Amino acid sequence: MSPTRAKDACEELACLGIRLIEVGRAKPVEQCAKAIRTIVQEYCATGSAESQWIAHLLVNLEWIAQAAMIFGDDELAAKVRAKMDRPNNLSEGNWSAALDMRVRLIEDFDEGLHRPGGSNYFPEDPRAELLRAVQRKG
């Protein structure tokens, strides 16, 4: 599986998960998170998985978890975050590097929100969907 294809699929699943949270459909959200986890596992099974790409895939689980928390479902957020486990064939070093990069992606998102016009800073991806959910939640 190519990293670009994996990233696109994970982003679409995250957008779907966020929209499902908005309408109160937790069970399908868990399936979106499970599918993201499967994509991460399959990407890592290629043997050429790069930490930066793994981080970009994993961060989609965080966007879903944050949406769940915004809508008051901490239990769902915990279930989604629980899908972030190290793939079997990924070294501890690469896993650690991917998690560090994931944290930086989340920090970049948070910093972007505080920039002038920050809500317009993000392209059409799960971050934009998360921002729209926050705005609709009011």
- Give the pLDDT confidence of 116-132 residue by residue, as tens digits: 665 555 566 787 788 77
Burial of 92 (0-12, 13-18, 19+ CB in 10 A): exposed
């930490």: which residue's tokens?
51
Predicted confidence at residue 48, as pLDDT, reads 80
pTM of the predicted protein model: 0.87
Q: What is the per-residue pLDDT for 108?
A: 87
pLDDT beneath 70, residues of the chain: 113-124, 138
CA distances from 94 to 42, 48, 118 (A): 15, 11, 31
In contact, 123 and 9? CB cutoff 8 Å: no
d(CA 81, CA 58): 9
